[in-house]
Chains A and B, each alone.
Chain A
């Protein structure tokens, strides 16, 4: 009973304060602006995706007229705009949109690019003259702006009451310190969560209205997942604010310290840890990587029997079979395998470096909540990693399909390889029989399962600040 009264008192106290009014106006404004911008950027991305997909479908249809042309057609996987982008886009925006491959190799084949990044490209030409900006997604608004506001709301929770003398009064009454603490904590948590919910609703309404009910929005399950995990995140900052408030004698000092802590957690650590990861986990440069890759694959070919290394047209041997083609195909296949292994290794190098940065960054709750948001939204680094692996699988499926069709063609020489299209089938195939890359359906359950560790760390951080705040408050001298 007593706690409820205390909570009510706290809530009404906060709701009527001047600062809360400023904060709620600002938050709603940001959510509104974010909604408007999201509609525009989603529209542009969505259109770009469709153009890319249509172009690809047309190309596949054109090349389906002969099997060997289809095999060497450069395909790309498009990373589409998703409804979840409104939840978290900052990670996704930094990632490439297209992953290239054909039936034989990953990435762009040939001399064209000397760079390891030839595996990817961006499908939108972003203007290099514009400043690089932060996307106003939920992860940013809640993770950066709301956490800041929490600290501004809580910085004088104890020290302010001490100055005003109300803390003395409360403690003089038969109210346990514990209930006083819990009441404050719950009141703040309730208020911030409601602000967040209100903001999300405003954001989604804006998106729906501004897009003429065209744009997709995240599913209720996704939103629910976000709510729960963000409550844990907010709770961390509330406890942090209470801790600083109970430690410092003067409210302004407690605000100064908590804001600096916030700056470090939210702005400094994420980028700094990525740069640290670059330092402690260096990866071979593109130049070294390519040199190694071409040297190794070249050696594989050089080690092949000399007969495999020369190539002549069938006509010079009476038009029957290509001479020593069996040996040659084997050598080419081995070489292609080596190149693919290098491509995968190159990707894994890049991924593991960034992953290390993300893992190191998890000493900051903001990085944790960002990674949880990406999992729930179904985009970002982990999703990219999975997409790449889907491309790897699709490539081998494509090759299997080509080989299978080649076996059915009586006119073919049956030497499916990446160098000589004339040595295997050029029969037409039905375009709709060609295996396509399926859209991965985002499973919220698995997203949450993958986030268990992250949530665990977040709860651990909560406990850490709880201990600090609680012990600080217990030792708080009321006189």
Chain B
């Protein structure tokens, strides 16, 4: 019997002009969005490749270790076409520096920051708004309409169980909605892979499958909601008004509340406080540095300090291509005594960030997540972001592996390369240890054969640790997404139960 009702419902609705036209509108919007988003992704990939190439060239031309500043780049993710997630507002390049530990950097790095005045936009947003509206338009009169037409009476008097009618309506409408969902995804995937040639590795297909599944679950929430409202109202126009108002609340207003409330309830330390703390930290360092410099000046052998040298940006990026012994010795002592101290203070700066700033970031995030549990649309957005790996957690993993890489690199430089002990000269010059102690700079100067940038060979960096971003495998998703997924199911079941309870009370007369 259920089967028959389901078939009847599907036949009735699928050839409905309203449904067909709405589906066509949805598909048109999806096609347009996919094209625009794919173009954007393509550009991102191109920029990424160029950046990698530049990084490589920079590393190959590196003449001394003080210039070493590997850039780690957050790889572009094709699934960001589906859910942009966090990727629009993060710094995707992390520079590994001697004087700072990687963290999210508020510097504006987007190619055109002014474009941010437009709200972000991706396929999930289109689905969230358009398909949910379609769901409401499909379902609003499923009971109230039949009540008005008198067919509900007929069905009930023919001995059809009320619960069967409910289950049949839920199933049939979900099945009907699957059609635009599947078509949207199919068209998107055809455009993305066919026209733009984006290749998804195997595991990404599972992610796409999960996104499709979750989209369907999200839409069945609206079907359950529609059934409940429709069973509560006698008049289908009242049911329509109620549902559209609820839709505005759920899809347009509520998703914003989490972030709003979180940032209102929990205060973050101001930029100023943080910067003052950083400044104090580095002032302390400068004081110590000054003392050490004075000691060094007393230690170095007397003589003229001159040579071919330079600095590049930060003060620790110094190089001496060639020079007199006193000059070389001065820099050697600096590397031995000041640079390790600098690394220490970099760690201290990170501690300040971790203790003063990070907890309130986390707390705000948590509060937002709790509030978002109440909002199906926000859940939809965050769960699909988790599945697509464009969420905060994934980016934090990237930052974590960047920090791990930095400590591996520092460990390598300190203990394997002995860059701050025995081989300290390699930090700033290409000259050998013996030459530093007994430099022939003056002689070379007379012969006009001093070393400079152009006759200094680049470093051999083959032993350098390689960064690898350990991405979370699929299993990681389930633990993260499970609660949210489960919660949405609970909402759907609750709504259906309420609708069933209403149905029971329905008086056939």
> Do A and B actually bind?
yes
A283 at the interface (CB under 8 A from B): yes
Distance, CA A251 to CA B66, complexed state (A): 73
Distance, CA A18 to CA B357, complexed state (A): 49
Residues of A within 8 A of B137 (CB): 252, 255-256, 259
A131 near B258: Cβ-Cβ < 8 Å: yes
B12 at the interface (CB under 8 A from A): no
A112 at the interface (CB under 8 A from B): yes
Residues of A within 8 A of B (CB-CB), count: 83
A23 near B245: Cβ-Cβ < 8 Å: yes
Interface 0/1 of A36-68, CB less than 8 Å to B = 110011000001100100010000000000000
A131 near B364: Cβ-Cβ < 8 Å: no
Q: Which of A33, A90, A123, A263 interacts with B117 by CB under 8 Å?
A: A90
A22 near B264: Cβ-Cβ < 8 Å: no
Interface 0/1 of B37-50, CB less than 8 Å to A = 10110000001001
Residues of B within 8 A of A253 (CB): 17-18
B114 near A354: Cβ-Cβ < 8 Å: yes
A148 near B109: Cβ-Cβ < 8 Å: no
Query: Knowing A256-B137, A267-B129, A278-B115 touch, does A131 contact B259 (C-beta < 8 A)?
Result: yes
Q: Which of A19, A115, A160, A357 interacts with B118 by CB under 8 Å?
A: A357
B21 near A122: Cβ-Cβ < 8 Å: no
Stretch at the interface among A91-99, A323-331, A419-427, A432-440: A91-99
Residues of B within 8 A of A125 (CB): 106, 268, 270-271, 274, 357
Interface residues of A in 113-164 (CB under 8 A from B): 113, 115-117, 120-134, 136, 144-145, 148, 152, 156, 160
B116 at the interface (CB under 8 A from A): yes
B116 near A30: Cβ-Cβ < 8 Å: no
A392 at the interface (CB under 8 A from B): no
B107 at the interface (CB under 8 A from A): yes
A130 near B263: Cβ-Cβ < 8 Å: yes
Residue of B nearest to A36 (CB): B264
Interface residues of A in 370-397 (CB under 8 A from B): 380-381, 384
Residues of B within 8 A of A221 (CB): none
Distance, CA A156 to CA B240, complexed state (A): 12
Interface 0/1 of B115-145, CB less than 8 Å to A = 1111111000110011001000100110000
Residues of A within 8 A of B126 (CB): 268
Residue of B nearest to A385 (CB): B114
Q: Which of B141, B237, B364 interacts with A127 by CB under 8 Å?
A: B364
Query: Knowing A271-B119, A274-B118 touch, does A131 contact B113 (C-beta < 8 A)?
Result: no
Distance, CA A134 to CA B382, complexed state (A): 16
A131 near B115: Cβ-Cβ < 8 Å: no
Query: Knowing A26-B245, A48-B270 touch, does A127 contact B107 (C-beta < 8 A)?
Result: no
B160 at the interface (CB under 8 A from A): no
Distance, CA A55 to CA B253, complexed state (A): 38
Interface 0/1 of B76-93, CB less than 8 Å to A = 000000000010111000
Distance, CA A259 to CA B135, complexed state (A): 13
Main secondary structure of the interface of A (DSSP, over half): helix
Highest count of chain B CB atoms <10 Å: which of A30, A41, A272 = A272
B36 near A272: Cβ-Cβ < 8 Å: yes
Interface residues of B in 312-337 (CB under 8 A from A): 312-313
Distance, CA A95 to CA B117, complexed state (A): 6
A214 at the interface (CB under 8 A from B): no
B64 at the interface (CB under 8 A from A): no
Q: Which of A96, A127, A136, A278 interacts with B113 by CB under 8 Å?
A: A96
Interface residues of A in 67-101 (CB under 8 A from B): 90-92, 94-96
A286 near B119: Cβ-Cβ < 8 Å: no
A381 near B117: Cβ-Cβ < 8 Å: yes
Distance, CA A48 to CA B269, complexed state (A): 11
B29 near A268: Cβ-Cβ < 8 Å: yes
Query: Knowing A122-B108, A148-B248 touch, does A131 contact B29 (C-beta < 8 A)?
Result: no
Residues of A within 8 A of B133 (CB): 259-260, 263
B483 at the interface (CB under 8 A from A): no
Distance, CA A18 to CA B238, complexed state (A): 8
A129 near B252: Cβ-Cβ < 8 Å: no
Interface residues of B in 352-385 (CB under 8 A from A): 357, 360-362, 364-365, 368, 372, 378, 381-382
Output the least CB separation between B334 and chain A (Å): 20
Interface residues of A in 269-298 (CB under 8 A from B): 270-272, 274-276, 278-279, 283, 285-287
Residues of A within 8 A of B237 (CB): 156, 160, 251-252
Residues of B within 8 A of A40 (CB): 263-264
B119 near A132: Cβ-Cβ < 8 Å: yes
Residues of B within 8 A of A121 (CB): 106-108
Residues of B within 8 A of A272 (CB): 32-33, 36, 121
A185 at the interface (CB under 8 A from B): no
Distance, CA A137 to CA B387, complexed state (A): 32
B111 at the interface (CB under 8 A from A): yes
Query: Knowing A130-B368, A132-B89 touch, does A152 contact B118 (C-beta < 8 A)?
Result: no
A129 near B362: Cβ-Cβ < 8 Å: yes
B140 near A132: Cβ-Cβ < 8 Å: no
Residues of A within 8 A of B258 (CB): 131
Output the least CB separation between B289 and chain A (Å): 20
A264 at the interface (CB under 8 A from B): yes
Interface residues of B in 474-488 (CB under 8 A from A): none
Query: Knowing A94-B117, A287-B54, A384-B114 touch, does A117 contact B108 (C-beta < 8 A)?
Result: yes
Output the least CB separation between A30 and chain B (Å): 6
A51 near B270: Cβ-Cβ < 8 Å: yes
Residues of A within 8 A of B382 (CB): 131
Query: Knowing A55-B272, A132-B88, A133-B260 touch, does A120 contact B113 (C-beta < 8 A)?
Result: yes
Residue of A nearest to B235 (CB): A18
A48 near B112: Cβ-Cβ < 8 Å: no
A173 at the interface (CB under 8 A from B): no
Residues of A within 8 A of B392 (CB): 128-129
Residue of B nearest to A110 (CB): B313
Residues of B within 8 A of A274 (CB): 115, 118
Query: Knowing A128-B104, A275-B36 touch, does A252 contact B236 (C-beta < 8 A)?
Result: yes
B456 at the interface (CB under 8 A from A): no
Output the least CB separation between A277 and chain B (Å): 8
Distance, CA A272 to CA B29, complexed state (A): 10
Interface 0/1 of A348-364, CB less than 8 Å to B = 01110110010000000
Residues of B within 8 A of A112 (CB): 313
A317 at the interface (CB under 8 A from B): no
Output the least CB separation between B187 and chain A (Å): 16
B249 at the interface (CB under 8 A from A): yes
Distance, CA A132 to CA B385, complexed state (A): 13
Q: Which of A23, A160, A354 interacts with B112 by CB under 8 Å?
A: A354
Distance, CA A396 to CA B31, complexed state (A): 49
Output the least CB separation between B177 and chain A (Å): 15
Q: Which of A22, A33, A110 interacts with B241 by CB under 8 Å?
A: A22
Q: Which of A47, A117, A255, A283 interacts with B240 by CB under 8 Å?
A: A255
Distance, CA A125 to CA B264, complexed state (A): 14
Distance, CA A287 to CA B258, complexed state (A): 37
Closest 5 CB pairs of A and B: A94-B116, A271-B121, A94-B117, A129-B365, A111-B313
20 additional contacts (CB under 8 A) given A121-B108, A131-B372, A278-B40: A18-B238, A19-B238, A36-B264, A55-B272, A111-B313, A117-B108, A125-B357, A127-B361, A128-B361, A152-B244, A252-B240, A253-B18, A256-B22, A257-B21, A260-B25, A263-B130, A270-B118, A271-B118, A279-B39, A283-B112
24 residue pairs bridging A and B, Cβ less than 8 Å apart: A26-B248, A51-B271, A115-B109, A116-B111, A122-B106, A124-B271, A128-B392, A130-B262, A131-B258, A131-B382, A132-B89, A136-B256, A145-B248, A252-B137, A263-B133, A264-B25, A271-B119, A272-B36, A274-B115, A275-B121, A287-B54, A353-B115, A354-B112, A381-B114
Chain B interface (Cβ < 8 Å from any Cβ of A): 17-18, 21-22, 25, 29, 32-33, 36-37, 39-40, 47, 50-51, 54, 86, 88-90, 104, 106-121, 125-126, 129-130, 133, 137, 140-141, 236-238, 240-242, 244-245, 248-249, 252-253, 255-260, 262-264, 268, 270-272, 274, 312-313, 357, 360-362, 364-365, 368, 372, 378, 381-382, 392, 395
